[in-house]
Structure 1
């Protein structure tokens, strides 16, 4: 059995490679805990991998990339390594957009569960590091599926850690709480800081937050409840889905209502936060592109 690759950005669909011309949008998928670049987005019964099997039919000019990182619950420090994984995401995405004309191609990030924290940290880093500024400027929208947004309240993060326990019960022969819960509790202060740092940048992007309405099988509660899955921003699109935590971003077929809600919001998110000008980098450089930002020496052009 071949070893699964980590810290790479897999190309799921490239319109240029199939004769549909250059891409006009990069959709970047980021999985969560116990997921990977493919199975997180694949329906268990129908085996439909919607980023490859469904989305290109609706959006043939959208390039789809999926980030792969070690998110196994046991035997690694994936939760503690949010900052490291975020930096790897930026590095791999930057490599895929190295041509000058690619700097201005809009980006929409689509993240499941704690993968949303990796995206948040990545954008916080990108906004202050010169080499990654093109990504910060090009990002138009963020779509979160069951991502906990607990802000800076460490006590709430401790409660969220316990809610994830059903996803990773203790291994056979172990009576202690799962490694996932321990990691979340240990790093709750750090994770809370990431969420608080991102909140002041959230107005730069269109924000879509999907939340689960089905309890986790065998329990009477959701993994990430509505109050945790929402940022409660004025421009946030809050969308309930009839699914439990792991099925939020898996779609049975093209007729699945949840898939329709997803691809329509990808189109909207690609336009940016319309209440903030709807342009990439609107909150960073006055709505200018990265190339204009460089030309004007790090300042937005003066109004004519």
Structure 2
């Protein structure tokens, strides 16, 4: 299997693909997590063109616009989802990412963390932050995360999309030419529901960008919803939070996270919002549980889950 730089990888895990640079509290740590799909689709995530060659915009374009301490990629084998997506599988990947990220972050002056993810990768990010919020061992990750960038990640259900419908869509876009057992769809839909419900308590804390399919409107053609196999509807792929930036792109699911040039309008919106997220998202890393409680009270969030390791 190959990562998006065309390099062979044989194990799950976090890899440093650029950096580290000189550490300071304002330099970003960027972590990219690919979506579900076959080997070829995963190998083409985050691609761009630089000097007529194929490259990754995470390492070719982004460092031209922001100061990155490090750029990392978290890889995982999608074959594990052949019989549906279980909460245990995503939780295992989330814990792996957290442990490996702590080992790669600088011990002092760790800068803001930015997660960039597509579909299932976004669910892994949510589970990472849900765990990090509850467990003091990982408070550094929860506190220093300043921006979440989601490409077609399922966040909620709509009138036209139930969790079962979204689960079916995810299994279809995984690239496996096969029919899926009903039990696999039920298992996947339960995972989607549980991860999103757990993260709902924390979603108001973070700046987020949600990028989704939206047909370009023309005078001659009416705007329609995307085909089921191509993308989520805008409602399901957005979060409806005050700190959210929504961006519609007229591109199929596999093309959403790709930018041909660094003057692409969506890419410009990403790095401009990233510049606005100058520091860590929350401050409870230094001041403990009471500071997080105070933050939630100040934001008028009704529910606060106990912050305990689980």
TM-score w.r.t. length of structure 1: 0.76
Q: 1:93 to 1:253 in 2, by over 3 A?
A: same
Q: Which residue is equivalent to 2:101?
A: 93
Once residues 141 and 239 of structure 1 are traced to their aligned partners in structure 2, the CA distance between those partners, rounded to angstroms, is 15
CA distance in 1, matches of 2:78, 2:176: 17
CA distance in 2, matches of 1:35, 1:261: 29
Show CA shifts across 1:67-103 (max 9, x none).
111124775766551111111111111111251332x
Residue 61 of structure 2 corresponds to residue 67 of structure 1: no
2:271 is the counterpart of 1:263: yes
Rounded Cα–Cα distance in structure 2 between residues aligned with 1:164 and 1:21: 38
1:101 to 1:38, Cα distance in 2 relative to 1, 3 A:
farther
Cα gap change, 1:124 to 1:53, in 2 (>3 Å): same
CA RMSD, Structure 1 to Structure 2 (Å): 3.3
Alignment of 1:149-188 (within 5 A): 149-150=155-156, 156-164=162-170, 166-168=172-174, 171=177, 176-177=179-180, 183-188=184-189
8 Å CA contact 2:85–2:187 kept in 1: the answer is: no
Partner of 2:36: 33
- Which structure would you say has the larger RCO, counting Cα contacts within 8 Å and 6 or more residues apart? 2
> Conserved in 1, the CA contact under 8 Å of 2:209 and 2:270?
no
Aligned counterpart, 1:285: none
2:27 aligned to which of 24, 29, 36: 24
> Which of 145, 150, 174 is the aligned partner of 1:144?
150
* Residue 16 (structure 2) pairs with residue 8 (structure 1): no
Counterpart CA distance in 2 for 1:168 and 1:201 is 28
- From 30, 33, 57, the counterpart of 1:50: 57
| Aligned residues of 2:86 and 2:191 also touching (Cα < 8 A) | no
Deviation per CA, 1:179-219: give whole Å up to 9, x if none. Answer: 7x86443232232011011011011111111111259xxx8
Q: C-alpha separation between the residues in 2 aligned to 1:15 and 1:3?
A: 21
Counterpart in 1 of 2:220?
A: none
SS in 2 for 1:47: strand
- Partner in structure 2 of residue 112 of structure 1: 118
Report how far residue 163 of structure 1 moved. 2.7
Structure 1 residues 209 and 35, CA gap change in structure 2 (3 angstroms): farther
Contact 1:31 1:112 in 2 (8 A): yes
- Counterpart contact for 2:17–2:71, Cα < 8 Å: yes
For structure 2, which runs of at least 5 residues remain unmatched after alignment? 2-6, 217-225, 295-310
Counterpart Cα distance in 2 of 1:119 and 1:242: 25
* Equivalent residue number for residue 258 of structure 2: 250
